[in-house]
């Protein structure tokens, strides 16, 4: 399934790309937002794009082939932004975009184990490099207390203790290696009327494990100051978050930088998708965009 970029109009309004400007896209994905930026910065503007997923890099390179060398794509974490900018001799830029989380093809086609609605290996990493941490490693080897902490902190799961007990009991009998196995364990550990049926019982656990596997919050904390240093005065920083923990980090960083007179916040409240966009792209429902002008 192709990824439909979220809040594209709003992203372009806040980034405000002009011909010849250079930008950084921390989360290139399949290149949807970057395509829009490259159109607006023609004929010479460039984008330095990051993605941990080599499949995304391949698809983005293909989708953006017509822009030639105006796309500089790096298959690595955006947490390495400052080093990459120095290596590519790329800064200072007119703006940086971050569109956190996973893409639709990662959820649906790339066998990553992000979805409890598919039977896939319990991986959950954005990275395609060998040796990365996996969700299977966490559920099979971390202590019960560590699993409780992950589920409570990153999933805001009230039943963290019950689910962690279920996991620890199940792994004594059989290694937990698939999404279906884990989903069944969670379903047996929680009451039948979990959250009154509002969300699937595995939703919070899957979110928590994905955040832990990818150190998502640590990466966001690392990239924000690096991004700020890469942007020239008058440039823009735009961040799209999909869960409250991520959004809180962005909000706090913006507040601190604003108090230090380093940025002007352009979005007193986060910008969200219109009803029309949500209808066309349900994924946009949880997106929150925050933007800042660099002083
Ligand atoms: C929501 S998608 C981005 C979609 C993109 N804006 C588009 O229009 O196609 C998020 C992407 O960020 C990547 N990602 C997640 N964490 C990352 C990290 N620490 N470093 C680099 N890429 C990361 C994921 O692999 C995924 O492809």
Note the pLDDT tens digit of each residue in 32-66: 999 999 999 999 999 999 999 999 999 999 999 99
5 lines ligand 1 (CB under 6 A): yes
Does ligand 1 have an atom closer than 6 angstroms to the CB of 74? no
Cα–ligand 1 centroid distance for 188 (angstroms): 33
Domain residue ranges of the chain, discontinuous segments joined by +:
8-105+216-294, 128-213
- With 80 as the cut, is the pLDDT of residue 3 above it? no
CA distances from 241 to 40, 94, 156, 244, 275 (A): 24, 21, 16, 8, 18
Nearest CA to ligand 1 atom 22: 51
The phi, psi pair for 151, rounded to 5°, reads -65, -40
CATH 1.10.150.170 fits 128-213, yes or no: yes
Q: Which long-range contacts (CB under 8 A, 24 or more apart) does 157-165 make?
A: 157/204, 157/205, 157/208, 159/189, 159/190, 159/194, 162/189, 162/190, 163/189, 163/190, 163/205, 165/189
d(CA 292, CA 283): 24
**Which residue bears the tokens 């969700």?**
135
Strands 263-265 and 288-294, by their bridges, are: antiparallel
Within 8 A by CB and 6+ apart from 267, the residues are 14, 289, 290, 291, 292
Question: Residue range 28-32: average pLDDT?
Answer: 96
Query: Both tokens of residue 26?
Result: 């921390």
Say if ligand 1 is within 6 A of residue 51 CB: yes
Interval 102-153: pLDDT, tens: 998 888 877 889 999 999 999 999 998 989 999 999 999 999 999 999 999 9
Indicate whether residue 126 lines ligand 1 (CB < 6 A).
yes
Joined tokens for residue 251? 């909000």
Kindly report the CATH number that applies to the domain delimited by 8-105+216-294: 3.40.50.150
């Amino acid at each position: 399934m192709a990824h439909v970029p979220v809040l594209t109009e709003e992203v372009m309004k806040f980034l405000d790309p002009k011909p010849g400007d250079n930008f950084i896209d921390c989360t290139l994905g399949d290149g949807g937002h970057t395509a829009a930026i490259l159109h607006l910065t023609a004929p010479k503007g460039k984008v330095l794009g990051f993605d941990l997923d080599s499949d995304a890099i391949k698809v983005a390179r293909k989708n953006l082939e017509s822009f030639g060398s105006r796309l500089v794509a790096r298959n690595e974490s955006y947490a390495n932004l400052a080093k990459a900018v120095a290596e590519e001799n790329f800064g200072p830029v007119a703006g940086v975009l971050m569109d956190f989380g996973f893409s639709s093809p990662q959820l649906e086609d790339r066998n990553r184990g992000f979805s409890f609605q598919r039977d896939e290996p319990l991986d959950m990493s954005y990275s395609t490099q060998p040796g990365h941490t996996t969700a299977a490693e966490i559920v099979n080897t971390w202590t019960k207390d560590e699993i409780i902490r992950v589920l409570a902190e990153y999933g805001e799961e009230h039943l963290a203790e019950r689910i962690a007990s279920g996991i620890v009991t199940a792994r004594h009998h059989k290694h937990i290696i698939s999404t279906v196995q884990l989903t069944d364990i969670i379903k047996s550990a929680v009451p039948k009327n979990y959250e009154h049926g509002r969300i699937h019982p595995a939703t919070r656990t899957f979110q928590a494990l994905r955040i832990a596997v990818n150190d998502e919050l640590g990466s966001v904390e690392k990239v924000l100051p690096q991004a700020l240093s890469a942007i020239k005065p008058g440039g823009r920083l735009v961040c799209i978050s999909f869960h409250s923990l991520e959004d809180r980090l962005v909000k706090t960083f913006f507040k601190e930088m604003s108090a230090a007179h380093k940025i002007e916040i352009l979005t007193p409240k986060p910008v969200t998708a219109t009803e029309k966009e949500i209808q066309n792209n349900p994924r946009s429902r949880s997106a929150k965009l925050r933007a800042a002008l660099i002083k």
